[in-house]
Amino acid sequence: MSRLIVEGLHKLDGETAIHGAKNSVLPVLAATLLAEGESEITNCPRLSDVRATASILRHLGCEVSTEGDVVTVNPAGLCRSDIPDHLMREMRSSIVFLGAIAARTGEAQLSFPGGCELGPRPINLHLSALRRLGLEIEEERGRLNCRTGGRRLRGAAVTLEQPSVGATENLLLASVTAEGTTSIINAAREPEVVDLCRYLNACGAQITGAGESTITVEGVERLNSCRHRVLPDRIETVTYLAAAAATGGRVTLTHTDPTLISSVLPAFEEAGCRLDWAENSRRLTLTAPDRLKRITSVLTMPYPGFPTDAQAPVMAMTCVAEGTSVFIETIFDSRYRHVDELARLGAHIKVEGRVAVVEGVPELSGAQVECTDLRGGAALVIAALAADGETEITALRHLDRGYDRLEEGLARLGARIRRMD
């Protein structure tokens, strides 16, 4: 089983490029099912979740090829409408295929996505929304058997109880070729949702209001494939910024976009970091102080609020800040599983329900730790970089789902980090 070996207390210094966004490439690849012809998706990160998505597309009969950061999909050979259990279990976000498969084939069979490390991951909003468009969904023995009854899905006004990213994306994929108009009220506003709409509109969809709370979709007869560049990964950006901040370093990130993380940048500034954005060369530079100051409070919220995915990486840097920082996690029920592992490195964190109180310490100490989930794993890497001595990090499968060669990027910035197989 591979593991990362990190020797801490080396300031990060230098420049590295940010990859395409995991949470955009996954729904965009699912959307290629709906477009006639060969779609070319560029700036794709090399992730196990992307490979799992490609496996689902191939299982369905699509032609998929990957060349560097370009994934090409042609759904002409589409001949199935089911997602095998093992692929659903491998990646719970496969649920976003439901709307696309049903819209394209008139039916879909897939299992309930397993829960994940963040606690239960219900899909009630997905199912109730898709039923509003006329999809008949039977739930039995953990399987979803869906059909449109031979009719096109029909547009409807759908209000989401909460601005679910996945449910918004499923609705978009089901409605772009439906008959009539769909309004998605209380839609997710995340940049990855906007990126999906950008791809779909480039294929000929008629979507307005992307990024706002109400999205309107005029159904069209057909979509034609196109070339799409995935937007930068805002959570990878935050992860590298937090690593630089935790080590007192100075790092420049290219191929990113600071407007995607405008709700996070004030936290870095409150911690004493200087942020410079060179518009012309599109380079974001963070210069950290020798010792970070605490962050008074971080409240995770749906976009444009502070992203829940940034909570763990930012918490890691506050472990060595001066003073006490408070985190309130409002999106997921169980998103503090990294806290016990950070404590093994010497962090002082107290969790009470949705609140985590981090009392900064001057230094952490290397230890053996295990990734608990994707962003929790990133937090361990960041903390290890700020720890005295050597840290061994295992269960890297969590990291590899969502970070493209993280250790190579950090090593490029001067981190003493290597992967041992």
Residues that bind ligand EPZ (CB under 6 A): 22-23, 26, 93, 121-126, 162, 164-167, 188, 190, 308-309, 331-332, 374-375, 402
Nearest residue to 262 (alpha-carbon basis) of 306, 297, 295, 308: 306
DSSP lists the bridge partners of residue 355 as 328, 352
Contacts of 134 (CB under 8 A, 6+ apart): 148, 149, 151, 153, 154, 156, 178
Q: How far apart are CA 410 and CA 6, in angstroms?
A: 10
Residue nearest ligand EPZ, CB atom distance: 166
Helices marked H in 37-113 — which ranges?
48-60, 85-90, 97-105
Nearest approach in angstroms of CB 245 to ligand EPZ is 20
By C-beta, is 207 or 321 nearer to ligand EPZ? Answer: 207
Give the integer Cα–Cα distance in Å for 192 and 115.
22
Which H helix or E strand runs over 73? strand 70-74
Q: Is 116 a catalytic residue?
A: yes
Minimum CB separation of residue 4 from ligand EPZ in Å reads 18
Q: How many angstroms separate the CA atoms of 57 and 91, rounded? A: 13
Nearer to ligand EPZ, 30 or 367 (CB): 30
**The tokens of 204 are what?**
């000929």
Q: Which is nearer to ligand EPZ, 104 or 126 (CB)?
A: 126
Residue 123 vs 217, nearer CB to ligand EPZ? 123
In the bound state with ligand EPZ, the residue whose beta carbon lies nearer, of 50 and 364, is: 50
Tell me how far, at minimum, the Cβ of 373 lies from ligand EPZ, in Å: 7
The catalytic residue among 44, 62, 79, 116 is: 116
Q: Nearest distance from residue 215's CB to ligand EPZ, in Å?
A: 15
Nearest C-alpha neighbor of 266 from the set 240, 290, 296? 296
Nearer to ligand EPZ, 125 or 317 (CB): 125
Query: Which burial class, exposed, middle or buried, applies to 293 when counting CB atoms under 10 A from its CB (0-12, 13-18, 19+)?
Result: middle
CB 339 → ligand EPZ: shortest distance, Å? 16
Measured CA distances, 60 to 54, 78, 145, 216, 221 (Å)? 10, 6, 16, 29, 22
CB of 236 to ligand EPZ, least distance (A): 10
Q: Shortest distance, CB of residue 268 to ligand EPZ, whole angstroms? A: 20
**Residue 37 to residue 106: CA distance in whole angstroms:** 19
In the complex with ligand EPZ, the residue whose CB is nearer, 52 or 387, is 52
Q: Are strands 416-420 and 348-352 parallel, antiparallel or unpaired?
A: unpaired
How far apart are alpha carbons 44 and 280 in whole angstroms? 24
Our CA angle for 129, 234, 217, nearest 5°, is 30
Edge-to-edge strand ranges of the sheet holding 136-140: 107-111, 143-147, 136-140
The set of catalytic residues is 116
